[in-house]
Amino acid sequence: MGTPAGGLLLLCGAGGGCMSVQSTAGGTFWSLPEPDNPAYVARLFTSQILWVAVHPLHHYIRRGVPPFMDLTLPLYAEDIRRILPHRYPFLLVDRVTELELGKRAVGYKMVTANEPHFTGHFPEYMLMPGVLIAEAMAQLGGIAVLSLPEMAGKQPMFGGIDNMRFRGQVRPGDKLEMDVTIDRLRASMGKGHGVAMVDGKVVCEGEMVFALG
């Protein structure tokens, strides 16, 4: 990516963590989560190449993901694809509007009639399957988790669904708004609570257990 005239400016937090990379001519190019580990170091060159040296760098090289990620909100489909391994037709989050790394994510999916599951569920009365509503919430929670530098590139998998309740229908044309909070997170597993709404009414709510491979 080219660097505009005027060079780059690295903004750092009180603990020494890099928060964002900006052009001195204005505009943010990468928003970096402020790391808790002060060993994170960033080096910038005002040429055509941005170098970011992050410890441990081999973690990202091994997983094939960059050591930095654009987390400027809102996150659009192309941003989400850089975080999640899911692809069409099974990528079920269209946009992320709020994000607390490792803690919480808010986003939505626009439900459309041309989605493949509607050909059989049901042709005469299209309903989004409840399992896909749960999957959409799980993917949103996955964005909150995989946005953490130490979790980037991991493979999220369902480990269980607890106390899931479906309280309303989701049909083509609906905006499925979701809010997922991560209650517990370890290196290889975690648990979260999700709420999904349409027009301000809760249509699904429950807890999700996930594994990280």
Model confidence pLDDT, tens digit, residues 128-175: 999 999 999 999 999 999 999 999 999 999 999 999 999 999 999 999
Tell me, yes or no, whether 48 and 127 share the same domain. Answer: no
Tell me, yes or no, whether 49 and 101 share the same domain. Answer: no
Write out the catalytic residue numbers.
121
Does residue 193 form part of some domain? Answer: yes
Tell me, yes or no, whether 51 and 97 share the same domain. Answer: no
Tell me, yes or no, whether 100 and 154 share the same domain. Answer: yes
Task: Work out the mean pLDDT of the chain and round it to a whole number.
Answer: 78
**Letter string b/e over residues 132-170, b meaning 16 or more CB atoms within 10 A of that residue's CB:** bbbbbbbbbbbbbbbbbbebbebebeeeebeebebeeeb
Range of the domain at 58: 8-63
Does residue 202 form part of some domain? Answer: yes
Beta-bridge mates of residue 105: 99, 180
Tell me, yes or no, whether 20 and 51 share the same domain. Answer: yes
Does residue 25 form part of some domain? Answer: yes
CA-to-CA distance for 141 and 143, rounded, in angstroms? 5
pLDDT for 129 equals: 98
Report CA dihedral (40, 45, 51, 53) to the nearest 10 degrees: -20
Does residue 144 form part of some domain? Answer: yes
Sheet holding 189-198, edge to edge: 95-100, 104-110, 175-185, 189-198, 201-212, 156-166
Residue 6: band (very low, low, confident or very high) from pLDDT cuts 50, 70, 90: very low
Paired sense of beta strands 8-12 and 156-166, if any? unpaired
pLDDT for 201 equals: 98
Tell me, yes or no, whether 194 and 108 share the same domain. Answer: yes
Tell me, yes or no, whether 113 and 201 share the same domain. Answer: yes
Tell me, yes or no, whether 56 and 86 share the same domain. Answer: no
Tell me, yes or no, whether 110 and 15 share the same domain. Answer: no
The gap between the terminal CA atoms of the chain, to the nearest Å, is 31
Tell me, yes or no, whether 114 and 53 share the same domain. Answer: no
Higher per-residue pLDDT: 144 or 13: 144
Name residue 38's amino acid: P
Count of domains for the chain: 2
CATH number, domain containing residue 196: 3.10.129.10
The lowest-confidence range among 2-11, 28-37, 58-67, 115-124 is 2-11
pLDDT for 70 equals: 76
